[in-house]
Amino acid sequence: MGVENLPIGIHIILDGYEISPERLTDAIRLSQALTDAAQAAGMTPLSEPSVHLFPGGGLTAFLPLAESHLALHTYPEHGYIAADCFTCGKPDGADRAVAVLCDALGQGRFDIRRLERGR
């Protein structure tokens, strides 16, 4: 397989359902989960995670990486999280990062889609 046939990046989209509202509102835990996910994947954070808390308890968190990014958005009133991991240069790293995020969320039901970007 030549370089022209390899994707530029891997983008994993995670939908998590039936997640404990306590886990979805725990900014410290989720911020640490992003950092842990990057470390497990061998990725390079460019800063600390940025976290924004919304009235009512949901949050958005973002971790920029030299290899792209990790992001998540929580909806505790629905027991739902939308997360994504985009990475270039670490094809199997995205899978490891998402596994760490799922572990941090605990019990729940996860729908994971893996996309090859930039063919």
* Catalytic positions: 68, 73, 88
How far apart (Å, rounded) are the C-alpha atoms in residues 100 and 95? 9
Cβ within 8 Å of residue 106, ≥6 positions away: 19, 20, 23
State the DSSP H helix or E strand holding residue 100, giving kind and residue range, or none if neither: helix 93-105
Residue (of 10, 25, 17, 23) closest to 96 by Cα position: 10
Cβ within 8 Å of residue 6, ≥6 positions away: none
